[in-house]
Amino acid sequence: MKRVVAVLLSFSSRTAPGAGVLLFAVATYIAMYGAFYLQTRGYSFSTGQDLHVGSSDQDSNAANSRELLLVSSIIKAAIPDQQDSSRLALLIVTESKSAGVDPLLVTAIIKAESMFKSRAVSNRGARGLMQLMPKTGEYVSALENRSQREKIDLHDPTTNLRLGIAYLKYLESKFAGDRHQALIAYNWGPTNLVKALRGKRSLPQQSVKYAHKVLSHHGQWKTSLDTQEPLSDASAIG
C-alpha cells in the first residue's frame, strides 16, 4: 500500500496542476482506507508484520466494519446528496477510536450540532462538525499541548474532530463520567452547569433536551450495531 501511495504522490508532483491535485486526492483516499483496513485485519504498523488473528479478533474486525458502514449510512440518511459520506464516516470512526471514544456517540453529537456540515457556523460563532467556539478550540488545544503557533482551523474536519472529541473527554472527566451532565455542559457550557449543580442557576430545557436527543440516537444506533439490525429511516434521520 505504501508503494502505491508513494508512486501516486510522485506522479502528482510531476503532472499538470489539475491532474496532480486529483492524484494527490486519490493517494490520500487510498492511504486512509488502506490504513483502516490493515488495522482491522490485524496489521501492526510498528513492526510491519501481520499479527495472528484469532476468532475474537475476527469478531472485532467485523464489528469495526459494521460500525463504519453504520456511521456512513447515518450520514447519507441525514444528507442524501453528501458526496463523501464514506470518507467522513472513516474519519469519525478512526479519530474516535484513536481517542478511546465511542464513534457512535461522536456521530450523535455531530448530527445534533452541525448535521455533518464542516462549514457550519452558529449564530454565536461555533464552528465546524462539532460546533466549537474559537476560544474553546484554543483552550482544548492548550490542554492537548498543541503548538500555540499552530493556526486552528475549526472548519477542517480532522482538527475539529480531534479538538471536539478531546473536549468531550475533558467534560466527562470533569463531571465524574456522568455522560448526561457532560453533554449538557457541551451544549450549555461547563461553568453554567457547575453553577446549576450548586443551585445558583436553573437548567435550561433546551440543553436537557439536547443531551436526551444525543443519548437517544446513540442508544438506537448502538442497539442496531449490536443486534446487526438495519436502521429504520426514523432512527437514522430523526
pTM for the structure as a whole: 0.75
- pLDDT at res. 7: 45
Average pLDDT for the chain: 81
User: In DSSP terms, which residues pair with 127 in a beta bridge?
Assistant: 121, 132
Cell numbers 470533569 correspond to what residue?
Answer: 174
Residue 11 has pLDDT above 80, yes or no: no
Cell numbers 456521530 correspond to what residue?
Answer: 107
Q: What mean pLDDT is predicted for residues 140-155?
A: 83
Which 3-state string (H, E, C) describes the chain? CHHHHHHHHHHHHHCCHHHHHHHHHHHHHHHHHHHHHHHHCCEECCCCEECCCCHHHHHHHHHHHHHHHHHHHHHHHHCCCCCCHHHHHHHHHHHHHHCCCCHHHHHHHHHHHCCCCCCCECCCCCECCCCECHHHHHHHHHHCCCCCCCCCCCCCHHHHHHHHHHHHHHHHHHCCCCHHHHHHHHHHCHHHHHHHHCCCCCCCHHHHHHHHHHHHHHHHHHHHHHHCCCCCHHHHHC
**Does the domain at residues 63-237 carry the CATH identifier 1.20.120.430?**
no
pLDDT digits (tens, 9 = 90+) for 35-58: 554 444 444 433 344 434 444 555
Question: Percent of the chain, pLDDT > 90?
Answer: 62
Cell numbers 470518507 correspond to what residue?
Answer: 87
What residues does each domain of the chain span?
Answer: 1-52, 63-237
Which of these, 95, 174, 181, 172, lies nearest to 110 by C-alpha position? 95
